[in-house]
Structure 1
Amino acid sequence: MEFEYDLETPLPTSDTLFFIETDHMPSKSFLEETDLRVSVRRETISLVLYFSQNFDHFLSYLAINYLDRFLSTQCILEGKPWISRLLAISCVSLALKMRKTVFSVTDIQNDEGFIFDSQTIERMELLILGALKWRMHSISPFSFFHFFISSFKFKDQPSRQALKDRATEIILKAQNDIKLLEFKPSIISASALLSAAHELFPLQFGSFRNAICSCSYVNKNNLLNCYNLMQEIAMDGYESVLDMGSSSCTPVNVLDLQCSSSSSSTVVADHGQ
């Protein structure tokens, strides 16, 4: 397979991104499943991170997106650890192919545990491709960075880049949390940017919040819920910097989402969060 793909620019227009982003999410039933799938997901994510450790974080993010979408439509047998290993290797392999990275399936397996030949991995790849309906140009939170950041009134590029970098860190850190799977990529993107803005540019937070709330694609209730969760994730490990005990700094009080009540800020897509 020959692909070329960038997580930030999978499609040429923002309108198209918002229209089809739900096609690149796990099924809603995935969040209602038993602890078995949660356990399989946790184990397989650990393997994905292990097999992709020599590549950048965006590679593992893409592989985990494939994994979540696959697990939400397929039944994985319990008690067969080799299946999780094969699934993880295949998701990493597909992500590497999408990003046109030169690699060897032998090298990424690190010569440990079960070693799968290329034919076995290719068969699993085809199973994954079928389950994902060959939609491999995943729409991710990173895909919406340019759209949202362009509405912020930055005076200099370094500030813009700092916000983007911090939001990226938050998203990468948050991916393992299964609760985030209920939110659209655009909502995750907006929430991460707001969380980063509150941390880096507190004086401008209100204007950033209003800019995002004025977007007709953004559901404010979902933004609030996702932002609260994102704040918890962002604060984790930063206790020495943020006063976790201050009631005035809780996620709900910080955002409050007192956006304009105009109709432009309340449009909700019919097909999801």
Structure 2
Amino acid sequence: MDLLCGEDSSDVFSDESTAYLSSEEADSWPEESIASCIEDERHFVPGLDYLSRFHSQSLDASAREDSVSWILKVQAYYKFQPLTAYLAVNYMDRFLYARRLPETSGWPMQLLAVACLSLAAKMEEVLVPCLFDFQAEGVKYIFEAKTIQRMELLVLSVLDWRLRSVTPFSFLSFFAYKIDPLGTFLRFFLSHATKIILSNIKEASFLEYRPSSIAAAAILCVANELPSLSSAANPHESPETWCDGLSKEKIVRCYRLMKAMAIENNRRNSPKVIAKLRVSVRAVSTLMWPSEEPCSFSSSSSSSSLSSPCKRRKLSDYSWVGDDNSSSE
């Protein structure tokens, strides 16, 4: 089940190894092909009511967010391509839409995330870690390889073996050339749009939008960062002319959501101003012996709790993983 390819891996983990179109490829790729991708993308996303399940709390949005965060951590740890992380999340969402886990959180969700990331890596990466090594970056449970393999087969069965999904990365270069025909800022477009897409992948609200709308909105967000191109990146005018099948309404709404999430992220990541504690030197000196040092505190209870290692449980051979007769409700 583990794949280890022997191709030259010198450029595998570099920033240059992307699935984007070159200038020549973008020019030669007819718009009919992009329109065909837009038509086919509906087969590689969860159903329209998937987002409503999170709103009704029949699915746990926080459990999904934790799983996506873990996938992104492992992607960064192994320097996988952004597409690998996106595919893993795509597989996970499509599985959760089609089949309910025994628990909405806990070890079944973690096992699903491990299996989806393993499958995505086998699809896109040249060098793939062994199944045991995928379980890094703060996992709570450790699964045997045979358990992960059985989960992989279940995911493949539920997804009908359709792993070559249409993703936002399928459209980025084409849309970037629509705003920047000469490709002057192509690298800037691709790198920044990729960051925008991955930074928002945890947010369940983006499940409402198809890959083409997400790609177009991300390209528009990047274009508005470039003064020389901002006039050509009006989300209310240009996107629907790029290709048949694009929805201006969906792109505008997705664009506004990305802008709102960017503001929120900047607010969260802004440095906190900590008020300085003013201490009277005279007061401190009268309360200390000469041999004591100021501001030296200890707590046996807090130190013991912080130093205790996180315990991880080993799980294997659960009947539901390979049980074809389990409920799909």
8 Å contact kept, 1:7–1:139: no
The 1:183/1:146 distance shift into structure 2, 3 A limit, reads same
8 Å contact kept, 2:169–2:215: yes
- For the pair 1:47 / 2:83, whether they are aligned, the reply is no
- Greater shift, 65-74 or 188-197, is seen at 65-74
- Partner residue, 1:93: 118
Larger radius of gyration: 2
The 1:112/1:184 distance shift into structure 2, 3 A limit, reads closer
Deviations 1:59-116 (A, max 9, x none): 2222111111111111122376221121111011101110143211111214964322
Aligned pair count reads: 236
The 1:15/1:85 distance shift into structure 2, 3 A limit, reads same
- Partner residue, 2:154: 127
- Partner residue, 1:170: 196
Aligned with 1:229 (options 249, 254, 257):
257
Offset at residue 162 of structure 1 (A): 0.9
- Greater shift, 113-122 or 88-97, is seen at 113-122
- Partner residue, 2:186: 160
Q: For 2:78, what is the secondary structure of its paired residue?
A: coil
- Partner residue, 2:293: none
The 1:146/1:79 distance shift into structure 2, 3 A limit, reads closer
Q: Which runs of 5+ in 1 are unaligned?
A: 240-273
When normalised by structure 2's length, the TM-score is 0.64
- Partner residue, 2:211: 185
Greater fraction of residues in helix: 1
- Partner residue, 2:98: 73
Letter in 1 for 2:253: N
The 1:219/1:120 distance shift into structure 2, 3 A limit, reads same
The 1:195/1:80 distance shift into structure 2, 3 A limit, reads closer
Aligned with 1:35 (options 57, 62, 72):
57
Q: Which runs of 5+ in 2 are unaligned?
A: 8-16, 22-28, 268-329
Q: CA RMSD in A?
A: 2.8
Offset at residue 204 of structure 1 (A): 2.3
Deviating 4+ runs (over 4 angstroms): 1-9
- Partner residue, 1:245: none
- After TM superposition, list the pairs within 5 Å mapping 1:16-35 onto structure 2: 16-33=36-53, 34-35=56-57
Offset at residue 29 of structure 1 (A): 1.7
**Alpha-carbon separation, structure 1, partners of 2:40 and 2:135:** 34
When normalised by structure 1's length, the TM-score is 0.76
